[in-house]
């Protein structure tokens, strides 16, 4: 006769992995933490601005709303980062308006002040006058593995406080023209459903910590098709700190141009190792030249972090400030070198300090759909 205690232990050993899997799949804790900290952001175009910029108003389809009125031209999401009213959102949702309103999940409504916004990252920092607000802690996107569950929390299609789930599908994903100068163009990819109104919303991990700001979708028709993209929380932290302290983001660069290594580049350079990025141009008198970088150098590590692709290098640079010193591991003619570089100011990028009056296109990326 079998020992009952041994039978129970065997059963527990079989059940524990199942219980752990069920617990990891339960995202209700993450949703409960995130929901109170995600707000609705509305951008308005006043009649006074309508009078001054009548041509732009006509192109945008904005009509006068009557005496002392205003027209809402954008409605999306934002995320509270502090109990004192710091809110991060996408810059493109401001859409050229001249006043902002923030609505909390408990329906409290506030006029918001624009602290600053940044074209290169498509992020804007707002401020409302209040204390004791719920907020989201910043997580560590690098610790979330591809395939792990994530939640998108926002206000799609006028549906307030909506939660959708998916997985982290990829990281360092470029979705615009990869050679666009002065743009970061590096995103977390997820299949958590996202539609109009989710710009500026939260992408959170299973612990309810912010790992990204949902910013764009790729779609053949403007509605969700399985591909959504978020700005990494590592970059959000840098932008939040800079806009709070300086009113603008301090962008840094290596003063080089670079691209992904691939098989063709490896054959051209005579190396079987195609990991990293290859330098295609070194700007004269720039940070890279002063440090000794050369055309055709292959950068394989950035401050001891292995480089996978060019978009990753752009994102890492965007997390740094001018005058920061970084260590690059470089392969040159079958030799491996360590090069210390003092980053310079990226003059290609202009952060906007206090202005809402610049039209911004929607971040729905239309993809060609072949005829049926």
3-class SS string, 14-75:
HHHHHHHHHHHHCCHHHHHHHHHHEEEEEEEEEHHHHHHCHHHHHHCCCCCCCCCCEEEEEE
Cross-strand pairs, 118: 123
Q: Given a cut of 80, is residue 292 above it in pLDDT?
A: yes
Distance, in Å, from the CA atom of 122 to the CA atom of 184, rounded to the nearest integer, reads: 9
Res 346: pLDDT: 86
Which residue is catalytic, options 47, 122, 205, 346? 122
Residue 318 has pLDDT above 80, yes or no: yes
Same fold, 141-249 and 252-345: no
pLDDT computed for residue 63 by the predictor: 41
DSSP state of 139: -
364 pLDDT more than 70: no
Q: Are 203 and 192 in contact (CB under 8 A)?
A: yes
Mean pLDDT over 1-29 rounds to 57
Domain boundaries defined on the chain? 34-127, 141-249, 252-345
Mean pLDDT of all residues in 57-62: 41
pTM of the model: 0.83
Distances, alpha carbon 216 to alpha carbons 102, 116, 257, in Å: 21, 21, 26
The CATH architecture annotation of domain 252-345 reads: Roll (2.30)
Split at pLDDT 50, 70, 90, the class of 293 is very high
Q: Residue 199 catalytic? A: yes
Greater pLDDT, 69 or 280 = 280
Q: Is 92 a catalytic residue?
A: yes
Q: What fold characterizes domain 34-127?
A: Thrombin, subunit H (2.40.10)
Check whether 68 has a pLDDT greater than 50.
Answer: no
Rg from Cα positions in the chain: 23
Quote the percentage of the chain above a pLDDT of 70. Answer: 79
Q: Choose, from 169, 186, 199, 215, the residue flagged as catalytic.
A: 199
Q: Which of 47, 77, 92, 251 is catalytic?
A: 92
pLDDT for 94: 86
**What is the average per-residue pLDDT within 27-48?**
89
- CATH fold, domain 141-249, is Thrombin, subunit H (2.40.10)
CB 73 within 8 A of CB 61: no
């Amino acid at each position: 006769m079998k020992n009952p205690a041994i039978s129970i232990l065997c059963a527990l050993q079989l059940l524990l992995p199942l219980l752990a899997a069920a617990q990891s799949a339960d995202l209700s804790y993450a949703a409960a933490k995130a929901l109170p900290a995600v707000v609705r952001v509305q951008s308005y175009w006043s009649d006074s601005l309508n009078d001054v910029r009548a041509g732009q108003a006509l192109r945008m389809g904005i009509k006068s709303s009557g005496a002392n009125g205003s027209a809402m031209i954008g409605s999306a999401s934002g995320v509270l980062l502090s109990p004192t009213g710091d809110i991060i959102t996408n810059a493109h949702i401001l859409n050229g308006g001249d006043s902002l309103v923030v609505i909390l999940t408990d329906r409290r409504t506030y006029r918001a002040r624009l602290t600053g916004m940044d074209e290169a990252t498509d992020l804007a920092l707002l401020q409302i006058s209040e204390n004791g607000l719920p907020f989201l802690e910043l997580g560590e996107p690098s610790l979330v593995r591809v395939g792990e569950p994530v939640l998108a929390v926002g206000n799609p299609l006028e549906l307030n406080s909506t939660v959708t789930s998916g997985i982290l599908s990829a990281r360092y994903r470029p979705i615009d023209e990869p050679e666009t100068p002065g743009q970061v163009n590096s995103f977390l990819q997820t299949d958590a459903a996202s539609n109009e109104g989710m710009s500026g919303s939260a992408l959170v991990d299973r612990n309810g910590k912010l790992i990204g700001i949902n910013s764009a979708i790729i779609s053949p028709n403007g509605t969700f098709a399985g591909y959504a993209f978020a700005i990494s929380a590592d970059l959000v932290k840098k932008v939040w700190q800079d806009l709070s302290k300086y009113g603008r983001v301090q962008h840094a660069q290596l003063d080089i141009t670079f691209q992904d290594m691939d098989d063709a580049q490896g054959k051209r350079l005579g190396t079987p190792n195609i990991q990293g990025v290859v330098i295609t141009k070194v700007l004269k008198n720039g940070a890279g030249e002063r440090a000794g970088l050369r055309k055709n150098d292959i950068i394989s590590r950035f401050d001891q972090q292995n480089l996978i692709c060019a978009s990753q290098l752009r994102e890492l640079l965007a997390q740094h400030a001018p005058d920061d010193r970084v260590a690059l591991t470089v392969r040159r003619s079958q030799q491996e070198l360590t090069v210390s570089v003092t980053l310079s100011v990226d003059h290609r990028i202009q952060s906007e300090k206090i202005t809402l009056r610049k039209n911004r296109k929607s971040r729905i990326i239309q993809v060609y759909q072949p005829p049926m």
